[in-house]
Amino acid sequence: MSPQDVADAITAALVQGGSQWLVSTLVAFLPVLWTMALILQIGRPYVLRTLRRCGLRLGADVWWMSYLLMRDATLLATFALSWLFFEPNLVVNQALPITGSLAALCLLLALAVKLTRRADDDINAYRLTTLFLVIGATLYYFPQVFAVEATSQEHLSWFTQYLTTNTNTTVALWLMWVSLAGVALVAVWLFIQVMRSVNRSMRPAQPTAPADAAPARPMAAEAPSVVRR
């Protein structure tokens, strides 16, 4: 081998090894984000109880806005990092949780409920959002803990064989494509809802008469009446 071939092989090995290390790190870090998302979602009653104790209006506003920003930013970051489960090459070649794509779909559904309904004021919307998050976290935690992170446990070899993407590629690809179709449908539905809300908000307001203005009378009524004698 020439020196150039050796340099190319080392470069390719570094790039491939670095990409594998980055994907493995993100997959191992996603449970932290899922846990933070669940804590912030379920901890809403505690935040409200603390909010009622704030005597200063500015402190209450800062506390509430900080909670909303952290909760929603965690959800968005979790979904953004979960997009690697929709990459076919990574699904086939990397050891990923086999239901990671379904977990990402559940997270997108929770975000869709938040975008289209008042999840902080409507109890049914809050419960639906929490349900989607719990289902998504369960779909991610179970294969991650008992398959991806349990390769050294011989008594969990069945989970490792069937709940990891690179050892069960057929099911993993089917789940990925089904989840990707669901993501596309939710995205189209959100786009339609956003366009409708934009049309309603940007529609010119109709001029209205003042409430205290007297109703207009016809022109014929304004003419003086002729009294016949």
8 pLDDT tier (thresholds 50, 70, 90): low
Judge whether residue 163 has pLDDT over 60.
yes
What value does the mean pLDDT take over residues 48-53? Answer: 80
Tell me which residue range forms the domain holding 175.
3-202
Report how many helices (DSSP H) and strands (DSSP E) the chain contains, helices first: 9, 0
Q: Is residue 209 part of a domain?
A: no
Q: Is residue 224 part of a domain?
A: no
Q: What pLDDT is attached to residue 223? A: 41
Q: Is residue 221 part of a domain?
A: no
| DSSP 8-state assignment for residue 96 | -
Q: Is residue 30 part of a domain?
A: yes
Tens digits of per-residue pLDDT, 115-130? 888 888 888 989 999 9
Tokens standing for residue 216: 């207009």
Q: What pLDDT is attached to residue 228? A: 41
Q: Is residue 116 part of a domain?
A: yes
What is the pTM assigned to this prediction? Answer: 0.77
Number of structural domains the chain divides into: 1
- For residues 100 and 173, the answer to whether their CB atoms sit within 8 Å is no
In 3D space, the residue among 138, 126, 123, 130 whose CA is nearest the CA of residue 39 turns out to be: 130
